[in-house]
Amino acid sequence: MSSQLFSHFGKKDQQLADLTAAAQAILTLDRAFKRLLPGRLAEQCQVACVRAGELVVFAHNSTVAARLRLLGNSVVAPLARQGYPLATLRVKVLPTPPRKPRQKSFALSDAGIDAFARAADEVRNPVVKDALKRLLRHHKG
Q: DSSP of 43-70, one letter per residue?
A: GGEEEEEEETTEEEEEESSHHHHHHHHH
State the first-to-last Cα distance of the chain, in angstroms, to the nearest integer.
Answer: 56
Shared domain check, 49 and 23: yes
Domain annotation covers residue 31: yes
pLDDT of 130 strictly over 50: yes
Shared domain check, 84 and 133: no
Shared domain check, 129 and 87: no
Q: 51 and 86 in contact (C-beta within 8 Å)?
A: no
Can you give the pLDDT at residue 106?
75
Can you give the pLDDT at residue 110?
86
Domain annotation covers residue 98: no
pTM for this entry: 0.61
Buried b (16+ CB within 10 A) or exposed e, 47-75: bbebeeeebebbbeeeebbebbeeeeeeb
DSSP state letter for 7: H
How many structural domains comprise the chain? 2
Domain annotation covers residue 100: no
Q: How many angstroms separate the CA atoms of 92 and 41, rounded? A: 15
Can you give the pLDDT at residue 7?
57
Domain annotation covers residue 99: no
| Residue 33 banded pLDDT, cuts 50, 70, 90 | very high
Domain annotation covers residue 1: no
Can you give the pLDDT at residue 8?
63
